[in-house]
Amino acid sequence: NFTNADSVSQECENLISSLPSEKDSTGKTLYNYQGSWYYPNTIQSILNFQKYFEARDTDIILASFPKSGTTWLKALAFAVVHRNKYAANLVSHPLLSDNPHNLVRFLEADLYVNNQRPDLKELSSPRLFATHMPFQTLHESLRDSPCKVVYVCRDIKDALVSRWHFIRKLVKKEYLYSNYPVEEMVEKFIKGAYSFGPFQDQVLSYLKESLVNSNPLLFMRYEEMIEKPEAQVMRLADFLGCSFTEEEKKSGTVENILELCSLSNLSNLEVNKTGTSTCGIAHHAFFRKGGVGDWKNHLTDDMAIKLDEMVEKKLQASGLKF
Ligand code: A3P
């Protein structure tokens, strides 16, 4: 079941052999670990993260389902937290010369990949990390640290369509995925067995946590960030313990951060047109159209109803309002 690209230990292989599995459309096997589906490599990364990551109380973890606004949240959180160190101008800022994914790195999808054990002790506080893992998997290794978690959530239909474009954009023409029909992606989402899925289980894990608050958790929505960016970035700063002062608000700091982190600004930077992130993905693939409702251009009403009902059913059964 393993390919050369998989770098997994014997311990991980033993664990994997006991997990539920499903084949994807290319014949690769996905495994269900702690309620979410992954390829073997990612399970190895998660095991390493769970074993070796030492949370600091000041750590900030940005969590999301893929294609839900992770890049934007990374840029905003970085700019907000470091605004005393780097003024948010359009002349010199780390976000102008590096991609948000290199400034706030993924735990399981970057730092711990390929069986690595990165030394994160040297990083100065507050450290910012990101993850696509569900809360239960993340929580286990925070080991009761009160570090903060920010979760960004997006409409399943837009996240699905975004993922579909992302996959098609990334792969070479001859590869099977370039002809990947959106129907197949919908089918996958309905079945639930796809990398980091099911969507609704992940959302539920963070929604539940936002009520329990075993870690301080801020639940954000991509749609609200699009609708009221100023209010949402101020909410983010309040939660992170670095509220904007009246003076900052008057002098346009909030607007400057939003402009710096905007889709149009970031996607037009040379670094984001040409570079490749530490997680091995071309920077340009993280930027497309943005906004709300692009699903209408790709999904039928019937698909939309099925997806919405599936999410509602899961969240309603938990008694939580979404
Ligand atoms: P679309 O494919 O709908 O355009 P992620 O960052 O989680 O991978 O999500 C990618 C989605 O967020 C893409 O959506 C992308 O265009 C959008 N996005 C990336 N950067 C953004 C930004 N600065 N502001 C708003 N949306 C952004």
Burial class (CB in 10 A: 0-12, 13-18, 19+), 64: buried
CA neighbor of 320 nearest in space, from 220, 223, 211:
211
Q: Which two tokens stand for residue 74?
A: 């990374």
Secondary structure of residue 153 in the 3-state scheme: strand
CA dihedral for 253, 249, 227, 212, sign (positive or negative): positive
In this prediction, residue 316 has a pLDDT band, given cuts at 50, 70 and 90, of confident
- How many angstroms separate the CA atoms of 80 and 53, rounded? 25
**In sequence order, what are the residues at sequence separation of 6 or more whose Cβ sits closer than 8 angstroms to the Cβ of residue 113?**
41, 42, 45, 279
Catalytic pick from 93, 132, 165, 283?
A: 132
What CATH number does domain 10-317 carry, 3.20.20.140, 3.40.50.300, 3.30.300.10, 3.30.565.10?
3.40.50.300
Query: At 73, which helix (H) or strand (E)?
Result: helix 70-81
Q: In 147-180, which positions are buried (b, 16+ CB within 10 angstroms) versus exposed (e)?
A: bbbbbbbbbbbbbbbbbbbbbbeeeeeeeeeeee
CA of 251 to the centre of ligand 1 (A): 28
Using CB atoms within 10 A of its CB, is residue 133 exposed (0-12), middle (13-18) or buried (19+)?
buried
Name which residue leads in pLDDT, 280 or 223.
223
Identify the residue whose C-alpha is closest to ligand 1 atom 24. Answer: 263
- Please state, as a whole number, how many other Cβ atoms lie within 10 Å of the Cβ of residue 101: 23
165 CA closest ligand 1 atom index: 2
Q: What pLDDT does 5 receive?
A: 52
| pLDDT for the residue 4 | 45
Q: How far is the CA of 288 from the centre of ligand 1 (A)?
A: 6
CA dist list (Å): 37 to 21, 40, 68, 87, 197: 8, 10, 18, 40, 6
Which runs of E-coded beta strand occur in the chain? Answer: 21-23, 29-33, 36-38, 60-64, 105-106, 128-131, 148-153, 217-221
For the CA of 74, the closest atom of ligand 1 is 6
Distance CA 72, CA 63 (A): 12
pTM: 0.96
Average pLDDT over residues 206-224: 91
| 167 Cα to the center of ligand 1, angstroms | 14
Smallest Cα–Cα separation from 217: which of 237, 234, 239?
239
Please give the average per-residue pLDDT across 294-302, as a whole number. Answer: 98
Please provide the average confidence, as pLDDT, over all residues in the chain: 92
Instruction: Evaluate whether 254 touches 234 at the Cβ level (below 8 Å).
Output: yes
The closest alpha carbon to 223, from 296, 154, 160, belongs to 154
- What is the residue-wise DSSP string for 188-235? HHHH--STT--HHHHHHHHHHHHHH-SS-EEEEEHHHHHH-HHHHHHH
Q: Name the residue with higher pLDDT: 10 or 140.
A: 10
Ligand 1: atom nearest CA of 290 is 4
Query: Quick one: tokens of 95?
Result: 């976000």
- Three-state DSSP class for residue 12: helix
For residue 263, give both structure tokens: 């889709």
Which residue owns the Cα nearest ligand 1 atom 5?
67
The pLDDT, as a whole number, for residue 1 is 47
Q: Which atom of ligand 1 is nearest to the CA of 64?
A: 7
Q: Is 47 in the pocket of ligand 1 (CB under 6 A)?
A: no
Ligand 1 centroid, distance to 15 Cα (angstroms): 34
- Helix, strand or coil for residue 245? coil
Query: What are the extents of the domains in the chain?
Result: 10-317
Give 175's pLDDT tier (boundaries 50, 70, 90): low
Confidence bin at 23 (pLDDT 50/70/90): very high
Residue 101 a catalytic site member: no
Quick check: CB of 222 below 6 Å from ligand 1? no
Residue 213 pLDDT grade (very low, low, confident, very high; cuts 50, 70, 90): confident
